[in-house]
Structure 1
Amino acid sequence: MPDALTPGRPAVNAAGAPGRGRAAIAAVLAAGAAAAGLFMAAHHPLGGAAACALFLSWALLNFLAPAAWLTLLPALLPVASLAPWTGWVALDEFDLLLLATAAGVHAHRAREAARGSAVAVPPMPRAARVLAVVLALSGAVALVRGWLDAGGMPGWFDAYLQPLNVWRGVKALCWSLLLLPALHEALQAAPRRALHRLRKGMLIGAALFVAAVLWERALYAGLLQFNASYRTTALFWEMHVGGAAIDAYAAMAMPFTLWALWRKREPLPWVAAGLLAAGMLYAALTTFSRGVYGAVTLPMLLPLVWWVLWRWRHGTLRGLLQAAPLTLGAALALLWAVEALEVQGLALLMGLWVLMALLVWRLTSVGWRAAAGVTLAVALLAEVAAVLGGGGFMRERFNASAMDLQARLAHWGRGLSLPQGGGDWLLGLGAGRLPAHYVAAPGHPRFSGAIRLEPGGVRLDGRGPGAHPRSHYGLTQRVAPHPGPHRVQLRLSADAWPARVSLKVCDAWLLYDTRCQYAQVNVLGPMDGRRTLDVPLHGLPLEAGGLPRAHVLTVGAVRGSVRVEEIRLYAGGEQLLSNGDFKDGLARWWPTAQDYYLPWHIDNLYLELLLERGALGLASFLALVVAALWRLARLGHGGDEALGEAAVFLAAALCGALLVGLFVSVMDMPRAAWLLWLLPWVALLLPRALPGGRAAPL
């Protein structure tokens, strides 16, 4: 092992001129991240002082433990957004975590370089440095072009047509580049430990993600109910206008759960990893996304082939060949069972299978890993059979695949008509500007509504031409659960006519309403001055007991345009809304679409990059991922078994994201996009060999 890769070895002459230069650069990065983060935290809608205190505490944690972010950020990624409570669209709490991390990590790097005690690592490969510069250049061009195209000054509550959405479109790339020096040092100084931290962070994040999915399904759809057209969203609030954050995350996280299964050697940790894998598959299946099914399944062939080859090289293939017919027979039995016994009977059958596996393990010479492995394979197949065969919704989606593909092709064609001239094709329309250009083009479908903050109130616009007739776009606020009845007081300004306003309070998670109390208000003509309307909502009582639920007020224009100056919501004699007069802008208010999401996304990662960042942005992204996959392929065929293990699972995660990107957008979902930028950089910056021995045998 070269000395340069030995953890803990101080850099030679680190306090000299090169060391002072590195210290200065790191100090500038730390100061910039701290200043930007504190400015953002000070304007946090839920409390600036508390947000600043938490920001500084997180930065201090990363200063004291500068490699911990490889665990902490992936672990918190699925939950680090309070968007429905803050009202922020282009910003969220994950941005604050990343800025605080950068501030702490780079401050630590600056101190160590200034002291001359920095760990010696080889410089970043030239190809990686060139790629980083090209990506930074393409991101800067997309940012500038987007800003110029949007015009005006950004606002804290800007959404998809306003200037701050430009930053939303490019920030994931910026965050990945900001932490790139720290990632390189962590992987070079202690690569095995860095990979362990990343794997642990992804597993914690996956566990939080699965917990959110189970909570959501239990409350709003039913854990074993697969007939209803309810598609899981978990805590990816970016999907308030549709999108595929959960699709991309599931595709990237699933290989890490299988990696954990490979690594665990004790029964209880292995069972925990198996339950997590089953939970991840359940989450992916209940998205009812055909693209996710392929993106989760096909990359798993890489670890499977690698596992078979590994066992063949170590002379342990016989057991696998014996288990394969048993698993296949179980799969055929499950296909029969799901039709004959339905989902509940299938669950009972699986319980009997587990008992039988326990008896086989205890009463025969079969090892626990063999019995557990076959049982897990059968359980995963049972999940697939239950979702695909136990409900009609997914069958309907499969039957509509040809029609949906035609609609998708038409959508892509409309997107490709947007660039005007060579500049747009080379450099793009600008980051985050695709929705604005799409709805402005003649003949293209429009949004299902619009929300604009104005002095003293908020303007609500109804459906645009071409929007789905049942679509809805409204301003929402989560309120304290109350069975009702609810009553809304609405103050409208004099020019708010003609219009129809929809009001409802629903038991809802994000995109789908369950039980609601609702009313509609018609504004048919001009009014003298302001008018306050008192509107009772009608409907069955809402559920308020059991597990904590989300009750959501939604106000939106169904038709026309209306200016609302104040909203009050009453139930049980109490006023439930915060910032109902909009004096704090749209703080606590969150826009949400329902039933129609077409204009917000181009539904293809590669077209998304081409249209917003041009050929330069698309080529630089493809160069990064191709270089990463080539690097992983070479590492997988190398002599280091531990490195080959890491390479195959990282490749599966990256391939999952690239496959799901064939049918969904990713860059407009910043948390998932950051993970997509992180994985290829991890692959490119891995050393040629890992210290510390070989991978443990299966």
Structure 2
Amino acid sequence: MAAVGTQPAPTGLLGLGEFKLRLPATRLQWLALLAALGLGAVGAELAWHHPLSGPLALAAWGAVALAAAVFWVKTPLLVLAPLPLIGLAPWTGWITFEELDLLVTACGCGGYLAYALQLNARDRAPAWRHALVYSPVVLLLIAALALSAAWSMKRGFADAGGFEFGWFQGYHEAMNSVRNAKAIFLVLALLPLWTAAAAARPRGFARGLLLGLVLALLGGSAAALWERLAYTGLLDFSTDYRTTALFWEMHVGGAALDGFLVMTLPFALLALLRTRSPLNFGAGLVILLLAAYAVLTTFSRGVYLALPLALVPMVLLADAQRRRAVAAPADSSHIDGSTGAIDAPLPRAAKLGALAMAGAFALAAALVFGGGGYRGLAALFGVMVVLLTMPASLWKPGFGQRLTALLMGALLALLLAAASWVLSTTVPKAAYVLNVVALVACGLLRWRDEPGQLRPVYTLLVTTAWFWLLSTVVIVADYWGGTAGRWTALAAGLALAGLWAAMLLEPRLWPLQGAGSHGAAGWRKRALLVAGLMLVMAVVAALGGGAYLRDRVATWKEDGQTRLTHWRESLRLLHGGRQWLLGKGAGRFVASNFYDGPAADQIGDYRLRHDPTEFYLALAAGKHVLGGGEQLHVSQRIPAPAPGPVTLQLVSRTAAEANLVLQICEKNLIYPDRCSGIEQTLKPPQAEVAADGARPGAAGGWQTREFKLGPVPALGGDWWAPRFVTFSMALDTRGARVDIARIAMQDAQGRQLLVNGDFNREMARWFFSSDRHHLPWHTKNAALHVLFEQGLTGLALLTVAWLLALLRLSFGRGRDHPLAPAIVAALIGFGVVGAFDSLLDAPRIGFIFFTLLLLGLGLRALPGEGVARVA
């Protein structure tokens, strides 16, 4: 939908406060009104059927729709910001439909209504200000992508035995095709509105998109921080626990959090690099450090590989934007003055020095941590902070004076180091005290700096103090780690000493020398570098202090072979040229793998059934080797039970002997902890009668049992780091099936803990997970996922769109758009992580990907805009 220019005088006008509601005056506005009504009807219907509370969901939906009507230009912010926090499937039992659908329909309804009724009609722009424009070829490509997804959904219905609507269907049923294919249609539902918003207020739309993704990263990273704090501890890098945050899509494995991080983190970094507000800079730095922690705790080798491969091109593209902006003459007719001054690109020698500094610190950190532990690493961090705050006045003296200061400073520091060594060997804890004293001395000297003054003696004193501080790192490492700590820290110290000597003698290597490196701008750059040091320290600590990550890195070859085998077996599920060309259908991999794959991939399943009198749950076990993590768990999140025994009443039936496992655990998604459970052998009625001599019942008849579980300890975690409590049912007999008609549970105080235990509300409030057995649920490759569902046709279309977006934003008409470098990085990151996981079978991740992809196909820089700071 393109925005129109001057509107004709409307025939009807309604006043509403400061807003004026006008009747639709153009064909586009009438179409927008129809879109609003359609999305409103769908959204209201979904909200009314929400498993937790229809009225509350409808009220929340209406509030979002109202906000979208008022701030329709910022709908990307309203949609994207809450995305990582609104996955309520573990509470609701919904997997086909979810809160994402409610959010999109609410924003679409409110936004289109505002456009149709011409709210803020003044927000119109001439054609040259349209920042989102699609060529006919690109529109044809987008239509082909949508047609391929729709055809894939149709084939999925057919493969599932025909379409049958259901609110709570699982991965084997027809509605799973809707779940897997819906992401692109949700984006397309909002794309005309976003096209109008980008024409109305180009910079406001871009800022809304950027802020939405940054806030989404904040929400996802905060959830990851809570999860680690609650379930493992912040610095535990050895426990076999990979962060999932609130991405319920990882209940059967997958990389939803990985894909989310690599697609949102580039926007936070770009905003941090461009903001000039100290408050925004501090907030952005916190968000980026939180995200870095979340990245580390995914323990995902794909993420570790994707981020460097994505962020390096982003930095290069942003640098190229700055160079073009500096070289281009200002066009006063189009620049509104809000972009501000543009930083000059860093000279090549300074870039070389920055890379040398980063590499030297990374190597030194690895060496010092290996022998000196966390104490040695902390001392090294102090050395680097002092190095980054070196005053510019040190380079005022001539070369000969700097060389003399360097040599004499090294000699004086050597004498101080020798005295400090002797003192550390005779006085306990003296090593740490000496390190603090040296750090304070460096701080005092930095405080006594006189900018612009020629003071060779000051250069000598600063050099001496810094070399002495560096020597105390060796002393701390030796005191903590003995001989090993001494020699590794000495090697690191010599490398850093040589680096500082080179930079003092050759000013062009110093990355903070020159214009823009003094005052507020200089401290901003130093803060970025200090944050980089902290990230390096975190990586070194995670690799060096975490056995789990080391084990994952060590087994990459074996895991790679497993993936290759799985990919070959996945491709064998495609039969005939038609399936290779058009795919087997959206959402059909799990079922196809179950019926046509190897026996080890015949996983458990559940279905809601009903007979003439009641609903019941049919729970089936897989045919693979079963263990605690390999079982299919049907679960419900419950309030923390009172400490003591828990009573369970179960009405079930089975045709063959089966072991039923019932557990109450502290569990976020797939890592149970502090479990209290019971494993009960269920037998057919005839077998139980033969054992006790009672009269036999009907074959396969319902049986009522009561169990005592526990005593259950106090669960739920601390108030500042709460843990979810989950009740789960699973079968521990291969190939077994148990039908469950009713289940009830009371704690020691008589409270009922389960909701919908009779399944009269279908699977509302019930969820399922496979904690460890993940390969049968995913193709584990995004390209193969698209190939399986949409065939070579769909894969070719998506590949062309992905490459075209990268080319447009890197070299084409979109290359100077302020968000182009971040979108390129996000798409590259998605591609790298997608080489090791499906990603597109998680609707929220697919929604972010298609948002960036389709925007990347149409975004362009406004004439004369240069590098707009939308942060």
Provide TM-score, normalisation by structure 2: 0.74
Q: Pick from 687, 707, 712 the counterpart of residue 535 of structure 1.
A: 707
Matches within 5 A, 1:239-638: 239-306=250-317, 314=344, 316-317=346-347, 320-343=351-374, 346=377, 350=381, 359=443, 364=449, 367-455=522-610, 456-465=615-624, 471-482=630-641, 484-495=643-654, 497-526=656-685, 528=697, 529-538=701-710, 541-546=713-718, 547-559=721-733, 560-573=736-749, 574-635=751-812
Deviates further, 434-443 or 91-100: 434-443
Classify the secondary structure of the residue corresponding to 1:680.
Answer: helix
Classify the secondary structure of the residue corresponding to 2:678.
Answer: strand
Q: Report the Cα distance in structure 2 between the residues aligned to 1:444 and 1:203, rounded to whole angstroms.
A: 44
Determine if contact 1:504/1:516 at 8 Å carries over to the other structure: yes
Q: Report the Cα distance in structure 2 between the residues aligned to 1:91 and 1:109, rounded to whole angstroms.
A: 27
Q: Pick from 136, 148, 153 the counterpart of residue 146 of structure 2.
A: 136
Q: Report the Cα distance in structure 2 between the residues aligned to 1:288 and 1:469, rounded to whole angstroms.
A: 22
Q: Which protein shows a greater Rg?
A: 2
Report the Cα offset of residue 383 of structure 1: 1.3
The alpha-carbon distance between structure 1 residues 348 and 233, as it changes in their structure 2 partners (threshold 3 A), is: farther
Report the Cα offset of residue 356 of structure 1: 7.8
Deviates further, 112-121 or 214-223: 112-121
Q: Report the Cα distance in structure 1 between the residues aligned to 2:379 and 2:659, rounded to whole angstroms.
A: 51
What amino acid is the match of 1:254? Answer: L
Report the Cα offset of residue 483 of structure 1: 5.7
In the alignment, which residue of structure 1 is the partner of 2:196? 185
The alpha-carbon distance between structure 1 residues 164 and 406, as it changes in their structure 2 partners (threshold 3 A), is: same
The alpha-carbon distance between structure 1 residues 697 and 33, as it changes in their structure 2 partners (threshold 3 A), is: closer
CA deviation digits over 1:191-235, x for unaligned, max 9?
Answer: 222111111111111111111011000111111000111000001
What amino acid is the match of 1:285? Answer: L
The alpha-carbon distance between structure 1 residues 344 and 324, as it changes in their structure 2 partners (threshold 3 A), is: same
Report the Cα offset of residue 418 of structure 1: 1.4
Report the Cα offset of residue 389 of structure 1: 1.7
2:36 paired with 1:36:
no
The alpha-carbon distance between structure 1 residues 363 and 569, as it changes in their structure 2 partners (threshold 3 A), is: farther
Report the Cα offset of residue 403 of structure 1: 1.2
CA deviation digits over 1:545-572, x for unaligned, max 9?
Answer: 5232211111111211111122222222
Q: Pick from 85, 90, 93 the counterpart of residue 84 of structure 1.
A: 90
Q: Report the Cα distance in structure 1 between the residues aligned to 2:68 and 2:345, rounded to whole angstroms.
A: 45
In the alignment, which residue of structure 2 is the partner of 1:654? 827
Gaps of 5+ in 1: none
Determine if contact 2:108/2:189 at 8 Å carries over to the other structure: yes
Q: Report the Cα distance in structure 1 between the residues aligned to 2:204 and 2:761, rounded to whole angstroms.
A: 46
CA deviation digits over 1:670-697, x for unaligned, max 9?
Answer: 0010110011222222134256564469
Report the Cα offset of residue 354 of structure 1: 5.5
Determine if contact 2:646/2:711 at 8 Å carries over to the other structure: no
Report the Cα offset of residue 12 of structure 1: 7.6
What amino acid is the match of 2:682? Answer: V
The alpha-carbon distance between structure 1 residues 315 and 485, as it changes in their structure 2 partners (threshold 3 A), is: closer
Q: Report the Cα distance in structure 2 between the residues aligned to 1:344 and 1:218, rounded to whole angstroms.
A: 22
Report the Cα offset of residue 423 of structure 1: 1.7
Report the Cα offset of residue 636 of structure 1: 8.0
The alpha-carbon distance between structure 1 residues 673 and 276, as it changes in their structure 2 partners (threshold 3 A), is: same
Q: Pick from 671, 684, 689 the counterpart of residue 844 of structure 2.
A: 671
Determine if contact 2:47/2:58 at 8 Å carries over to the other structure: yes
What amino acid is the match of 1:632? Answer: L
What amino acid is the match of 1:600? Answer: W
Report the Cα offset of residue 616 of structure 1: 2.0
Report the Cα offset of residue 11 of structure 1: 5.3
In the alignment, which residue of structure 2 is the partner of 1:680? 853
Deviates further, 559-568 or 215-224: 559-568
Determine if contact 1:14/1:114 at 8 Å carries over to the other structure: no
Q: Report the Cα distance in structure 2 between the residues aligned to 1:648 and 1:596, rounded to whole angstroms.
A: 38
Classify the secondary structure of the residue corresponding to 2:298.
Answer: coil
Determine if contact 1:477/1:552 at 8 Å carries over to the other structure: yes
Determine if contact 1:419/1:428 at 8 Å carries over to the other structure: yes
2:107 paired with 1:104:
no
Q: Report the Cα distance in structure 2 between the residues aligned to 1:557 and 1:137, rounded to whole angstroms.
A: 41
Classify the secondary structure of the residue corresponding to 1:582.
Answer: coil
What amino acid is the match of 1:388? Answer: L
2:235 paired with 1:214:
no
Determine if contact 2:270/2:822 at 8 Å carries over to the other structure: yes
Classify the secondary structure of the residue corresponding to 1:132.
Answer: helix
Classify the secondary structure of the residue corresponding to 1:562.
Answer: strand
Report the Cα offset of residue 85 of structure 1: 0.7
CA deviation digits over 1:481-518, x for unaligned, max 9?
Answer: 23633424232334453111001111111110111111
What amino acid is the match of 1:667? Answer: L
Determine if contact 2:569/2:597 at 8 Å carries over to the other structure: no
Classify the secondary structure of the residue corresponding to 2:360.
Answer: helix
Q: Report the Cα distance in structure 2 between the residues aligned to 1:389 and 1:371, rounded to whole angstroms.
A: 26
Report the Cα offset of residue 542 of structure 1: 4.1
Q: Report the Cα distance in structure 2 between the residues aligned to 1:615 and 1:149, rounded to whole angstroms.
A: 18
Report the Cα offset of residue 540 of structure 1: 6.7
The alpha-carbon distance between structure 1 residues 68 and 310, as it changes in their structure 2 partners (threshold 3 A), is: closer
Report the Cα offset of residue 605 of structure 1: 0.5
Q: Report the Cα distance in structure 2 between the residues aligned to 1:361 and 1:270, rounded to whole angstroms.
A: 24
Determine if contact 1:22/1:113 at 8 Å carries over to the other structure: no
What amino acid is the match of 1:10? Answer: T
Q: Report the Cα distance in structure 1 between the residues aligned to 2:10 and 2:142, rounded to whole angstroms.
A: 24
Q: What is the root-mean-square deviation of aligned Cα atoms in Å? A: 3.0
What amino acid is the match of 1:471? Answer: E
Classify the secondary structure of the residue corresponding to 2:265.
Answer: helix
The alpha-carbon distance between structure 1 residues 336 and 697, as it changes in their structure 2 partners (threshold 3 A), is: farther
Classify the secondary structure of the residue corresponding to 1:179.
Answer: helix
What amino acid is the match of 1:257? Answer: A
Matches within 5 A, 1:144-159: 144-150=154-160, 151-159=162-170
Matches within 5 A, 1:44-59: 44-59=50-65
The alpha-carbon distance between structure 1 residues 233 and 52, as it changes in their structure 2 partners (threshold 3 A), is: same
The alpha-carbon distance between structure 1 residues 664 and 264, as it changes in their structure 2 partners (threshold 3 A), is: same
Q: Report the Cα distance in structure 2 between the residues aligned to 1:610 and 1:406, rounded to whole angstroms.
A: 21
The alpha-carbon distance between structure 1 residues 113 and 72, as it changes in their structure 2 partners (threshold 3 A), is: closer
2:247 paired with 1:236:
yes
The alpha-carbon distance between structure 1 residues 631 and 562, as it changes in their structure 2 partners (threshold 3 A), is: same
The alpha-carbon distance between structure 1 residues 646 and 156, as it changes in their structure 2 partners (threshold 3 A), is: same
Report the Cα offset of residue 378 of structure 1: 0.7
Q: Report the Cα distance in structure 2 between the residues aligned to 1:697 and 1:632, rounded to whole angstroms.
A: 17
Determine if contact 1:253/1:653 at 8 Å carries over to the other structure: yes
The alpha-carbon distance between structure 1 residues 662 and 204, as it changes in their structure 2 partners (threshold 3 A), is: same
Q: Report the Cα distance in structure 2 between the residues aligned to 1:637 and 1:87, rounded to whole angstroms.
A: 42
Q: Report the Cα distance in structure 2 between the residues aligned to 1:202 and 1:211, rounded to whole angstroms.
A: 14
**How many correspondences in the alignment?**
688
Report the Cα offset of residue 332 of structure 1: 2.0
The alpha-carbon distance between structure 1 residues 686 and 163, as it changes in their structure 2 partners (threshold 3 A), is: same
Q: Report the Cα distance in structure 1 between the residues aligned to 2:123 and 2:556, rounded to whole angstroms.
A: 60
Q: Report the Cα distance in structure 2 between the residues aligned to 1:426 and 1:161, rounded to whole angstroms.
A: 23
Determine if contact 2:649/2:704 at 8 Å carries over to the other structure: yes
Classify the secondary structure of the residue corresponding to 1:481.
Answer: coil
The alpha-carbon distance between structure 1 residues 257 and 147, as it changes in their structure 2 partners (threshold 3 A), is: same
The alpha-carbon distance between structure 1 residues 637 and 125, as it changes in their structure 2 partners (threshold 3 A), is: closer
CA deviation digits over 1:588-630, x for unaligned, max 9?
Answer: 1111111111111001111100110112211221121111111
